[in-house]
Amino acid sequence: MVKDVPTMKPRERVLRALMREEPDRVPLFELAVSPQVLSKIFNKKPEECLSIFAGWEAEFNLYEKLGLDSSSIYTLMFSPKNSRGIDKDRYVDSWGRIYSANVSAAYISRFYIGGYLTTPEKYEEFPKLDPLDSFGIEQCKIALKAAGDRIFPVAAVGSIWEVQGEALGWENMFRYMFTKPDFVREVLEDSTKFLIELGKACIDLGAEVLLDWDDYGYTNGPMMSPKHFKQFIFPCLKRAADEFHRRGAFLMVHSDGDIRLLMDMIIEAGVDAIQPLEPKAGMNIDEVAEKWGDKICLVGNIDVAHLLPFGTTEEVAQEVRRAIDAAAPGGGYLLGSGHQINDWCKPENFLAQIKTAKEYGKYPLH
């Protein structure tokens, strides 16, 4: 782990990059870091490394020791209030998504099975989460206080599209875009209102960057045509960006997949930063930086599908240097993984990512 010469604190470093200006060095952002990876680095139990068990203070302490500048407050939109069991093997979460009660996709992630709100009738009957429910508000208060000036927190305040597609079931969502477009607009209107209202509340508490937790892409292209993105998602995204901007805050969008065909519309909607630029999905950092790096802050791009789990530390260092060379000149780049640091990432590779970025990412660049 490499310590900074304390010239800028994380907040100024990140905000400079979001405004596409050069800070003292390239900021380091992770959506989240696996407690399995943290436990190996710090010789702790996984539950001692995770906010839902140990509290935000404990998690941010570890992030500070790693040298990260920024991470997300990822628990805000996942109140357990309306979660219910279906049978001994399945449950429905508060958004209407069916998960396995027994099979995990990662240390804290249950395996997604399908949608529960498969018809308009089921959707209307299902209780809607209140964006101002005490769960999210209290989580934000606690996390912002725990972060202090050590870690710059990004508040994940909702999902306009992805969670709703999972709740309806993806086949249903795509079919309804053609057969019941007004119903799809209603669903996305509800999710947009949630995101905006929780976002406004977090801004009032001190949050300066809000995250829309969405996925618009598959590995080989967008989930929907650019025409349908413009029709259904663009207006929602623009409303959120406009509302947050009026309050002096930034909007970051998380979207996996190949979203190159949607990037111009994402920028037109007013999004300030796009994460994670998944490299295995064709989001080549050289191409992305050349086409859009002067219009939007770029975040991520270090591969978590192969490089960080299976590569060598030198291969990681080489890729970090390549990403900085491509995206960091002039500012506007937060270096991080191409999603989040998952359970399978080698601790030594994650540390190599951080070390190389701190050494190579100092401004003025090499």
Distance (Å, whole) CA 237 – CA 232 = 9
Whether residue 100 lies inside any domain: the answer is no
Reported as a single tens digit per residue, the pLDDT across 196-211 is 999 999 999 999 999 9
Q: What 8-state DSSP symbol labels residue 284? A: -
| pLDDT tens figures, 303-339 | 999 999 999 999 999 999 999 999 999 999 999 999 9
Q: How many domains does the chain have?
A: 1
pLDDT band at residue 24 using 50, 70 and 90 as cut-offs:
very high
Q: Is residue 112 part of a domain?
A: no
DSSP state of 76: T
Q: What pLDDT, in 10s, does the model give residues 151-189?
A: 999 999 999 999 999 999 999 999 999 999 999 999 999
Q: Is residue 87 part of a domain?
A: no
d(CA 349, CA 178): 45
Structural domain boundaries, residue 249: 10-81+129-360
Nearest C-alpha neighbor of 262 from the set 287, 234, 285: 234
Token pair for residue 152? 């710059």
- What's the Cα-to-Cα distance from 327 to each of 237, 260, 300, rounded to whole Å? 24, 16, 10
* CATH code at position 237: 3.20.20.210
- 142 alpha carbon, distance to own chain's centre: 19
Question: Rounded to 5 degrees, what angle do the CA atoms 107, 110, 115 make?
Answer: 160
Give residue 6's pLDDT.
Answer: 55
Rounded distance between C-alpha atoms, residue 226 and residue 147, angstroms: 38
For residue 151, report the phi and psi dihedrals to the nearest 5 degrees. Answer: -130, 135
Query: Residue 157 — φ and ψ, nearest 5°?
Result: -110, 0
239 falls within a domain = yes
Read off the tokens for 319. Answer: 């890729």
Element (H, E) at 124: helix 120-125
Whether 4 shows a pLDDT value over 70: the answer reads no
Q: Is residue 75 in a domain?
A: yes
- CB neighbours of 366 closer than 8 A, spacing ≥ 6? 360
Domain assignment present for 366: no
**Is 116 domain-assigned?**
no
Q: pTM of the predicted model, to two decimals?
A: 0.96
Say whether the peptide bond before residue 276 is cis (omega within 30 degrees of 0): yes
- The two three-digit tokens of residue 366, written as one number: 């090499």
Which tens digits make up the pLDDT trace of 85-113? 999 999 999 999 999 998 887 777 789 99
Contact 251, 241 (CB under 8 A): yes
Helix (H) or strand (E) holding 237: helix 234-246
> Is residue 118 domain-resident?
no
From the list 247, 248, 332, 240, the residue with the least C-alpha distance to 294 is: 332
